[in-house]
Amino acid sequence: MSQTDQVISKIDHQSSTQLMLQIRDVNVYYGESHILRDVDLSVPVGQMVCLIGRNGVGKTTLLKTIMGLLKPRTGTITLAEQLITHKSPDQRAKLGIGYVPQGREIIPRLTVKENLLLGLEACRRGRGNKAEIPEEIFSLFPVLESMLSRMGGDLSGGQQQQLAIARALMGKPRLLVLDEPTEGIQPSIILEIEAAIRQIVKSTGISVLLVEQHLHFVRQADWYYAMQKGGIVASGSTSELSQQVIQRFLAV
């Protein structure tokens, strides 16, 4: 790709389409440790964007900031043109951000069904929903249908991950934020999770922001951002991921 093509591709990504999420000039500290530095990142409506980078560079910190679990010292976060920088995590969930945290956070002593229904709490249309699990959840994750009465804690890592994604979908998000959904999961299940995420983007139009380390999965995204020492140091279309970027930012 020529430099001009790269600039055009960047402009296309950032401005010609409507943005679901826009992060501008965000700086985040843990105490006096400066973790995120002048971060700019955007997710266009209906697209899948992947954040890559080595361990400890600040990827989870950025996702927590998007969810409102950490407060930026400076900068803005906008969801579908609404400024959400000062909204609580609960308000952000109701505005349509679904979060699948690292480690999944399935409640072990609740059944699969109860775990799924917890996802309704985040629903922007509020309570009043019938406590039902939509059929689409089972077509995305067939394994869950046969396990509804099992305890969350009895599921394998891969099944728990599918449950965590399904729970986030129960809230009918506009933006799904996933923190390393394939971490510690066996290869065949990684492919199932990958296919489900691709299907979610294709069939529902939900926008996705994903932190991921598996190259195959990263390639499913439309766009990548690479993070180093808390700053975005490269970005581009995943169809143009160079060997150099792969070696620098992914543990392949």
Ligand X SMILES: Nc1ncnc2c1ncn2[C@@H]1O[C@H](COP(=O)(O)OP(=O)(O)OP(=O)(O)O)[C@@H](O)[C@H]1O
- Please give the residue ranges that form the binding site for ligand X (CB under 6 A): 30, 33, 35, 53, 55-61
Q: How far is CA 180 from CA 21, 84, 146, in A?
A: 19, 24, 25
The answer to whether residues 37 and 27 touch, using CB atoms and an 8 Å cutoff, is yes
Instruction: Using the minimum distance from each CB to ligand X, give the nearer residue, 141 or 225.
Output: 225
Nearer to ligand X, 2 or 33 (CB): 33
Shortest Cβ 135–ligand X spacing (Å) = 34
Minimum distance, C-beta of residue 223 to ligand X, in the bound complex (Å): 18
CB of 30 to ligand X, least distance (A): 3
Alpha carbon 95 to chain centroid, angstroms: 15
**Which CB sits closer to ligand X, 57 or 196?**
57
Three-state secondary structure readout of 162-173: HHHHHHHHHCCC
Closest to ligand X by CB, 61 vs 115, is: 61
Q: CB of residue 74 vs ligand X: minimum separation in angstroms?
A: 17
Nearest distance, CB of residue 40 and ligand X, angstroms: 17
Residue 127's φ and ψ, nearest 5 degrees, are -70, -155
Asked whether the beta carbons of 113 and 119 are under 8 A apart, the reply is no
Please name which of 150, 146, 144 lies closest in space to residue 167, comparing C-alpha atoms: 144
CA 145/CA 105 separation, integer angstroms: 20
**Please, which residue, 39 or 137, has the CB nearer to ligand X?**
39
